[in-house]
């Protein structure tokens, strides 16, 4: 194990590509540059709030105890081997071309080699302005940082590809934020998260170069990305083969999000990882009551472009933007279109497989697709708590009559069902029970498949809100409980959190809806 200050950082990205080495933090356009040097801006006092021991062990980094190491986590110290920089990228935001964006409050310190020989980037989020901060201050507040830290690690333990979070520190500074952009700014405690990923490259990095017609830089970035992160892809058609794999990974990621009820909230192309991993945790949420039209992002209203059920379609739209960026490098552009159209097949194949596991089926039969559709239609109409519904489904008595079915699932309902809704619900559950009874595996095996596919613990927004409010008052008990529970999302050890969203949280700011600054 090594200390943070003893890490010998590599500078492979900054040494391979052109960048602005001036260190000028003034907002500006940077044509021809893939990054700009950005020294973190010091804060008042760095203090450790959370540390991911499991991730640290993978990285081979010991928990900091000396202030010199803590200062690295807060941007107050830059070691000689670091080259802090902010990446330049563009993106489509809410369907509209936004031009140059870039890392406005993220600063990559460099790359390091882990204990198993992998290369990862360490990045500070909230460490001050960069050339891409535009009119912002480059800072992050405690509430958004707590959400990013916890959710990054929670997704990892759910088994979903994601960036990770090594640490969360308080800065001792106050940061002014207008949480809902409604003209009511307030001072909030500042914080910084250290994020970890093999790369933070996103679709927007390639869109930026294509938009500027920097074809040489685009070719160089594509070649570097393939050789470094997709080394198994070679040959003259490697760009097409690479795009095909990005399509496949993105399709699988969408099915994983829907499996656990995750809503990203701001699926702009600059928030889409080139590795098919979850990246940039802003106004995310898990669905409580099942609702494909649910969006947690106030900025996404009224159109609900990034609503829960629209995420797979948006992912394809974003992939089309990536294909457009790659088109100048591909002679046969129809191949890009063909690869994109195969997204639907990849998505549905993955979706059906996951649904089979969520429902405990022994195999996928032709008639199961109709069953999936019937269950989906029922869930949309009844809107039970998604997590609790699937947990109760695991323990469903297969011989239950109508009254017993309703009693069994009563804890998942947010409303009193009408006679018609009750009839529909019982009919669907009865059909499901008949399908399970025909399984070629025994009930115990079926239930085990369901337990592995359906989380029992999720980071509900109201729990995060409570934890943040308590942390701001100096009480970390709930925050620490959530840190433990998120590591065992399929266990029954944390059933104190297996509860529906309380009524008070339905319309409370920070619980039901959040902004892009959250």
Catalytic positions are 270
> What Cα–Cα distance (Å) separates residue 511 from each residue in 38, 104, 147, 414, 465?
34, 26, 12, 16, 6
Please state, in angstroms and as integers, the Cα–Cα distance from residue 457 to each residue in 295, 297, 483, 493, 498, following that order. 20, 22, 11, 9, 6
Helix axes 215-229, 203-211, angle to 10 degrees: 160
Cβ-proximal residues to 94 (8 Å cutoff; 6+ apart), any chain:
268, 299, 300, 303, 305
Residue ranges of alpha helices (H) inside 159-309 are 203-211, 215-229, 238-260
| Residue whose structure tokens are 């399509």 | 247
Q: Cis link prior to 302 (omega < 30° from 0)?
A: yes
- Phi/psi at 180 (nearest 5 deg)? -115, 20
Structure tokens at 45: 């006092």
Nearest to 357 by CA among 455, 268, 276, 291: 455
Which tokens hold the place of 504? 């008070």
**In b/e form, how buried is each residue of 451-486, taking b as 16+ CB within 10 angstroms?**
bebbbbbbbbbbbbbbbbeebeeeeeebbeebbebb
Tokens, residue 63? 């928990």
CA distance 505 to 285: 13
């Amino acid at each position: 194990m090594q200390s943070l200050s003893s890490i010998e950082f590599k500078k492979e990205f900054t040494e391979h590509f052109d960048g602005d080495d001036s260190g000028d933090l003034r907002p500006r356009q940077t044509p021809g540059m893939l990054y700009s040097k950005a020294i973190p801006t010091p804060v008042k006092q760095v203090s450790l709030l959370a540390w991911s021991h499991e991730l640290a062990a993978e990285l081979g980094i010991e928990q900091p105890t000396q202030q010199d190491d803590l200062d690295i986590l807060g941007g107050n110290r830059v070691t000689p081997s670091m080259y802090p920089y902010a990446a330049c990228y563009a993106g489509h935001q809410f369907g509209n071309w936004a031009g140059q964006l870039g890392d406005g409050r993220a600063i990559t310190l460099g790359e390091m080699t882990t204990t198993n020989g992998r290369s990862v980037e360490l990045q500070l989020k909230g460490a001050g302005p960069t050339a891409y901060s535009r009119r912002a201050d480059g800072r992050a507040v405690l509430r958004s940082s707590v959400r990013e830290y916890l959710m990054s690690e929670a997704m990892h333990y759910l088994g979903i590809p994601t960036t990770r979070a090594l640490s969360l520190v308080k800065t001792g500074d106050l940061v002014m934020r207008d949480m809902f952009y409604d003209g009511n700014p307030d001072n909030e405690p500042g914080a910084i998260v250290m994020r970890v990923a093999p790369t933070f490259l996103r679709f927007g990095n390639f869109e930026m170069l294509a938009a500027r017609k920097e074809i040489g830089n685009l070719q160089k970035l594509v070649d570097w990305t393939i050789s470094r992160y997709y080394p198994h892809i070679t040959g003259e058609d490697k760009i097409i083969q690479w795009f095909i794999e990005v399509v496949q990974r993105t399709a699988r990621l969408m099915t994983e999000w829907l499996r656990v009820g995750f809503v990203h909230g701001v699926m702009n192309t600059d928030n889409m990882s080139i590795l098919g991993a979850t990246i940039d945790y802003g106004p995310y949420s898990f669905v409580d009551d099942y609702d494909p039209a649910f969006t947690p992002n106030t900025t996404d209203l009224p159109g609900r472009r990034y609503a829960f059920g629209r995420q797979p379609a948006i992912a394809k739209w974003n992939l089309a933007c990536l294909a457009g960026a790659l088109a100048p490098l591909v002679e046969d552009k129809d191949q890009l279109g063909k690869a994109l159209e195969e997204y639907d097949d990849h998505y549905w194949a993955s979706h059906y497989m996951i649904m089979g596991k969520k429902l405990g089926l022994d195999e996928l039969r032709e008639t199961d697709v109709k069953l999936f559709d019937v269950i989906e239609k029922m869930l949309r109409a009844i809107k039970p708590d998604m997590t609790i519904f699937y947990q109760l489904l695991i323990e469903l008595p297969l011989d239950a009559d109508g009254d017993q079915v309703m009693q069994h699932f009563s804890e998942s309902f947010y409303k009193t069902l009408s006679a018609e809704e009750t009839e529909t619900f019982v009919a669907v559950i009865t059909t499901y029970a008949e399908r399970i009874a025909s399984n070629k595996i025994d009930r115990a095996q079926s239930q085990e498949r369901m337990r592995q596919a359906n989380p029992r613990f999720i980071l509900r927004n109201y729990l995060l809100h409570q934890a943040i409010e308590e942390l701001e008052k100096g009480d970390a008990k709930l925050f620490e409980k959530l840190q433990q529970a998120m590591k065992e999302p399929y266990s029954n050890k944390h059933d104190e959190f297996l509860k529906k969203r309380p009524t008070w949280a339905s319309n409370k700011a920070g619980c039901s809806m959040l902004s892009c600054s959250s």
